[in-house]
């Protein structure tokens, strides 16, 4: 989830210092990835005792996102971990107020196994790759994070592709407009924001691949958007952002699809889409249809960029 937080003055001072000098000395742990630095503050004594597995979790999540985008999407980000009762991760928040920050709540009894299955931190890190496009376009920011999280983890081997498609098939209907709802730039329900945005991403990914003989997809567009805009630390107009993605793929898919849905609700034929992709009713227990018209596109979406069909 992306937001503008109320951040305490001391942390803001640390961020301003860190932006030019790396992590402050009070940091619990510092991770580097390529040219990026992650400053981790653990704000709970009991949670700090699990620092080794927390470091592994953060490092793995950062590598998942870096592999998808070709690099980690921010030169420096502060990660604040707050403790809670129990195990696992209960939520996250990404902000760009006086510096990039990800705030997470983690169980004091969390295990390495629970963190290995976590999706929340990857979701939050994906937010770093899209510039600020305004509150009326939150559907794009959240939808991208929902969509890319599953794809990136599947490409990295951290999540089974069947599980990704099972969740998409189960949850994409939440993104369809209900009676009386308007286009995506109007106030939206939770489902339209998160899963309606994810549906836009899937439709764009499919259309780009159809128009380019499966050579490139949404991943190519998102890498270009990050490269040209600098990500969440910068403000950009949504139309400009989508046109950057379209130039990278040699299509007009992202902008044209947005124009169709921005003011007018569009109901996608999900059943037809799943059939064309060869996605069964229950991908966890049923085989994919590799003879389906878009089966090669389905396989290419979750395959690492250097595997499967050519992508450049």
Stated pTM of the model? 0.91
Reading the chain (312 residues) residue by residue, the pLDDT tens digits are 766 443 333 444 444 444 445 788 888 999 999 999 999 999 999 999 999 999 999 999 999 999 999 999 999 999 999 999 999 998 899 999 889 999 999 999 999 999 999 999 999 999 999 999 999 999 999 999 999 999 999 999 999 999 999 999 999 999 999 888 899 999 999 999 999 999 999 999 999 999 999 999 999 999 999 999 999 999 999 999 999 999 999 999 999 999 999 999 989 999 999 999 999 999 999 999 999 999 999 999 999 886 544 333
Q: In what order do the strands lie in the sheet with 76-84?
A: 29-33, 36-42, 76-84, 101-107, 89-95
Domains and CATH numbers, the chain: 9-127 (3.30.2010), 135-302 (no CATH)
State CA 110 to chain mean position distance.
23
CA dihedral 209, 210, 212, 217 (to 10 degrees): -10
Going by the DSSP 8-state scheme, the letter that residue 283 receives in this structure is: T
Alpha carbons 177 and 173: distance in angstroms, whole number: 9
Alpha carbons 186 and 37: distance in angstroms, whole number: 37
């Amino acid at each position: 989830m992306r937001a503008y937080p109320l951040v305490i003055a001391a942390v803001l001072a640390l961020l301003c210092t860190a932006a030019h000098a790396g992590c402050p000395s009070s940091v619990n742990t510092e991770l580097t990835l390529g040219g990026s630095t992650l400053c981790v503050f653990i704000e709970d004594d009991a949670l700090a005792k699990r620092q080794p597995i927390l470091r592994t979790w953060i490092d793995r999540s950062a590598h998942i996102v870096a592999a998808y985008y070709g690099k980690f999407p921010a030169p420096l980000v502060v990660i604040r971990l707050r403790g809670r009762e129990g195990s696992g991760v209960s939520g996250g928040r990404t902000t760009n107020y006086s510096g990039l920050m990800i705030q997470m709540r983690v169980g004091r009894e969390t295990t390495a196994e629970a963190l290995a299955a976590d999706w929340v931190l990857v979701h939050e890190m994906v937010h770093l790759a899209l510039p600020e496009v305004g509150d009326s376009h939150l559907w794009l920011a959240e939808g991208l994070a929902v969509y890319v999280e599953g794809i990136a983890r599947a490409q990295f081997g951290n999540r089974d592709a069947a599980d990704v498609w099972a969740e998409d098939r189960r949850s994409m209907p939440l993104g369809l407009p209900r009676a009386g709802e308007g286009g995506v730039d109007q106030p939206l329900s939770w489902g339209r924001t998160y899963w309606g945005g994810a549906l836009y991403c899937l439709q764009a990914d499919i259309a780009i691949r159809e128009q380019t003989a499966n050579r490139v997809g949404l991943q190519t567009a998102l890498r270009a958007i990050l490269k040209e805009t600098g990500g969440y630390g910068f403000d950009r107009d949504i139309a400009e952002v989508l046109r950057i993605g379209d130039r990278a793929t040699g299509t007009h898919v992202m902008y044209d699809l947005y124009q169709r849905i921005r003011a007018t609700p569009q109901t996608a034929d999900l059943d037809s889409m799943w059939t064309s992709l060869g996605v069964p009713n229950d991908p966890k227990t049923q085989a994919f249809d590799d003879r389906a018209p878009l089966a090669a596109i389905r396989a290419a979406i979750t395959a690492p960029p250097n595997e499967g069909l050519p992508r450049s």
